[in-house]
Amino acid sequence: MTRRPHARPSATVRLLSQVTLAGLLLAAAGACGSDRAAPASPGHRADDPAAPAASASAVSPPVATPTPPLASPLASATGTALPSAAPRAPRAAAPSPATPAAPTSIPGIDVSKWQPSIDWRQVSGAGYRFAYVAAVGSYGTNPHFRAQYSGAAAAGLYRGAYFFANPTIGTGTADADRFLTLLGDVHDGRTLWPVLDVERHPTLAACDGISPAAWTTYVRAFLTRVASRAGVTPVIYTAANFWRTCLGNSTAFARTTRLWAAQPRTLSPQPFAGWLRLTFWQHSTGAVPGITAATDRDAFFGTLSDLRALVVPRP
């Protein structure tokens, strides 16, 4: 601990050559007393070291990691209390037109080969209601796909699958056929619309070295092929920056597809590229009961009835 420097004796003190020993002792005692800290006044800021300790009710607890402001189902699933998006007011503020209006948000996850062991009963018990499983990831075919895909359904979750787009090694049509072969029957009453994952391959150059026109052609071919065979158009998972940079911010799919936005560093996810709203939001990565590895955590904007409406219909 750093000590404060003592104050220099005043000129008056230096001239007191005739003061008795008792007087000197009294003067020294008075000098020490003047160096004592004064009582803190009520006007100190809460972060002032000299301020008095505030009561627990007067100071909000710090939040180490921002948690998305979703509805209560996500709070129960993650075991984390969710902070309000704004301080409480007597009357609720009207939602911003740019913010997806959702009375409720349904919690879910997406998994791949990086979550090889999953206790789906625990996942369901923690409040998660849907799971998307990688059929093909950036590493190739998911070796755990079948176990994860069937395990999620057996535990009562709505389940779906996604395919990692890679225009450098295949066409959209061929990849769609490969994807549907891996899925098998999607008309079982619990399978959600398929998803095309549009993002950079981790080992390739920016945009995978593909032009926006080539990317757009691949995505269109993939969506068209799945729609013709499965009867539904896949959801597009992507990030705003990748879509803007690598697909020229194309609005070609906004009217015919739904958007799943990867926006983990915001508390207010926004649609982009012509989409008017978000359907899914990948908001964070972290602990999920029943899964030992860190897992992507998502939200569906809508009710359980809305989520059921995204189940591939029976023929």
Please list the active-site residues: 110, 197, 199
Numbers of helices and strands, H then E, in the chain: 9, 9
Helix (H, G, I), strand (E, B) or coil at 158: strand
Taking the C-alpha atoms of residue 298 and residue 175, their distance in angstroms, rounded to an integer, is 25
DSSP 8-class letter at 27: H
Q: What are phi and psi of 11, to 5 degrees?
A: -65, -35
Taking the C-alpha atoms of residue 310 and residue 112, their distance in angstroms, rounded to an integer, is 21
Q: Element (H or E) spanning 133, and its range?
A: strand 130-137
Asked if 282 contacts 296 with a C-beta cutoff of 8 angstroms, the reply is yes
Measured CA angle at 111 (ends 110, 115), to 5 deg = 150
Among 223, 298, 306, 238, CA closest to 272: 238
Count other C-beta atoms under 10 Å from residue 235's C-beta. Answer: 22
The single-letter code of the amino acid at 107 is P
